[in-house]
Copies of this chain bind each other. A is one copy, B any other.
Amino acid sequence: MGEMRQHPTFPRPSASAIDKARRLLERALGPSKVITSADGCAAYAGDESDQPPVSPDAVVLASSAADIEKAVRAASEAEVPVVPRAAGSGKSGGAVPVGGGIVIATIGMNSIKEISREEQIAVVEPGVILADLHAAVEAEGLFYPPDPNSLKMCALGGNIAENAAGPRAFKYGVTREYVLGLDAILIDGTRLRTGRRTVKGVTGYDVTALLVGSEGTLAITTEATLRLIAKPPSVMTLLCLFPDVRASGRAVSALVAAGVVPRCLELLDRPTLDAVRARGVGVDERAGAMLIIEVDGEPADCEVQAERVGEVCMDAGALDVLVAQDEAQRERLWEARRQLSPTTRAMARYKISEDVVVPRDKIPALLDEVAEISAATGVRMLTYGHAGDGNLHVNLLWNDPDLVPQVETALSRLFRAVIGMRGTLSGEHGIGTSKADFLALEQSPELIAIERKIKALFDPKGLLNPHKIFPRRTLEAAERGERDGGAERAPGFPTHVVAPSHGAC
């Protein structure tokens, strides 16, 4: 993967602050938990976004909340930034230490501390891999719905920081709906326990919901109490082929209107299907769009739902509706869906994956707009994602570095179109650094001012995951693709380490 968009650079700590931080960390944690070598730090430089990797000045391999507390106390004393990192699979730059400082890696804190069938909860550490949690709770007949497609590599700490979602969010909601309580550490080392173990509760402000989705800028999660539900007894997966996206969009609207609530309602547009075909997967040549629809529940109810899905899709103009015949076929289908992100990534030297949301009935209009933007700018664009929620991943692909201005234009037009349709910039990836400069497109100065005050309340010195969410440039400068001229960079660290290409969205 290459990286050619112009990104703002950010100030880094002074050499003496870095020295002090390293010394304090090694004293507090011992040398085995602290990485300071350039090579060692480089492994914690990037995530799965288009944000260029930036090496931290030190990495703490945390194995407990006490380690994290020690690390933030050291960082606060030395006044260097702290960037929490779980699996590093984020799509918006959240875990990239753009301002240097200390990465606190929580991936080693991977214990599932409790699964209670009676209370239907799980208590997990932030480094637990989502797929491992799925397997563990399903073995108990329970179910944790959030399922970002990176589920085999992403971890709960990151899921909570970004308020991750995935296909099943259509029926079951996003991570926020499943986080009952958090143990977290503030930048000054204060331990905070928010929320509760019960499903309901309104005692005090909803600090838990404030921390979920705060992208690691307010506190570092050390433990989460998660709500589970009973595992649906059966699942059926349907593949619905349409001549074009307009027909598939009609089907999505009709399904929603009919009150059918599949657990997943995923859309693939024509360029995406072409990409799938190019990989040798046989897809009916007449198909210009596809919906992957999955229903769950009691077996008899699944049959009823599947039948209604089929009827509604055929009424909306489907060419064909196919049902996965067994679990192996189902798994192959989802594996193909999960591979879309790496597949499309391999299609060009450069790729940006966007994550916009529009009201569900605006999906055809958005896809029309994407086609127009692609034609006008010459940037190849393909779109797939969670159509049931109106949350589509618009992917921009290009090979020629000189196309960057057109890419900036395309992004800017896309964002303006989405906001014009009363949509939102991000459905599940977060703002991070990648969309920070566009925040003002969606939110008023008054709201951003309140959010900045909340940030300052939790982190008065701005040391916890700085430069995320909030814009550094004016919207106009960002739309012109201008580089941030005010920032300085300390020498000696690589800015463009190549990130591994195993992400998914």
Contacts and interface: CB of A to CB of B under 8 A. Distances in A.
A223 B480 CA distance: 35
Interface stretch (A24-32, A207-215, A496-504): A207-215
A106 B386 CA distance: 38
A90 B261 CA distance: 34
Nearest to A225: B422
A423 B198 contact: yes
Contact of A204 (B196, B301, B451): B451
A198 B259 contact: no
Interface string A269-309: 00000000000000000000000000001101100100000
Given A163-B206, A207-B454, A231-B259, 20 more contacts: A192-B447, A193-B444, A198-B358, A198-B359, A198-B390, A198-B424, A199-B390, A200-B386, A201-B424, A201-B427, A203-B426, A203-B439, A205-B214, A206-B214, A207-B447, A207-B450, A207-B451, A232-B259, A298-B301, A450-B458
A390 B203 contact: no
A253 B116 CA distance: 12
A427 B390 contact: no
A39 interface: no
A264 to B, nearest CB: 14
The winner among A203, A446, A447 for most chain B CB atoms within 10 A is: A203
A51 interface: no
A452 to B, nearest CB: 10
Closest 5 CB pairs of A and B: A230-B259, A209-B209, A118-B361, A201-B424, A200-B427
A271 B489 CA distance: 72
Interface string A442-462: 111011101101110110000
A443 B205 contact: no
26 contacts: A117-B257, A163-B206, A165-B200, A173-B177, A177-B177, A190-B446, A192-B447, A194-B447, A197-B422, A200-B428, A201-B424, A201-B426, A202-B213, A202-B427, A203-B431, A203-B435, A203-B443, A204-B447, A230-B256, A230-B261, A232-B259, A301-B301, A453-B457, A454-B454, A454-B457, A457-B457
A390 to B, nearest CB: 5
Interface string A307-348: 000000000000000000000000000000000000000000
A426 to B, nearest CB: 5
A95 B212 CA distance: 29
Interface in A208-261: 209-210, 212-214, 218, 229-233, 253, 256-261
The winner among A194, A205, A253, A390 for most chain B CB atoms within 10 A is: A205
Contacts of A198: 357-359, 389-391, 422-424, 427
A202 B259 contact: no
A478 interface: no
A24 to B, nearest CB: 23
Interface residues of A, number: 90
Contacts of A118: 253, 257, 359-361
Interface of A: 116-121, 141, 162-163, 165, 169, 173-174, 176-177, 190-194, 196-207, 209-210, 212-214, 218, 229-233, 253, 256-261, 297-298, 300-301, 304, 357-361, 386, 389-391, 422-431, 435, 439, 442-444, 446-448, 450-451, 453-455, 457-458, 469
Contacts of A358: 198
A206 B200 contact: no
Contacts of A360: 118-120, 199
A323 to B, nearest CB: 19
Nearest to A388: B199
Contacts of A196: 357, 422-424, 442
Contacts of A448: 204
Contacts of A162: 202
A443 to B, nearest CB: 6
Contact of A430 (B202, B233, B424): B202
A444 B192 CA distance: 8
A204 B173 contact: no
Nearest to A231: B259
A204 B431 contact: yes
A165 to B, nearest CB: 6
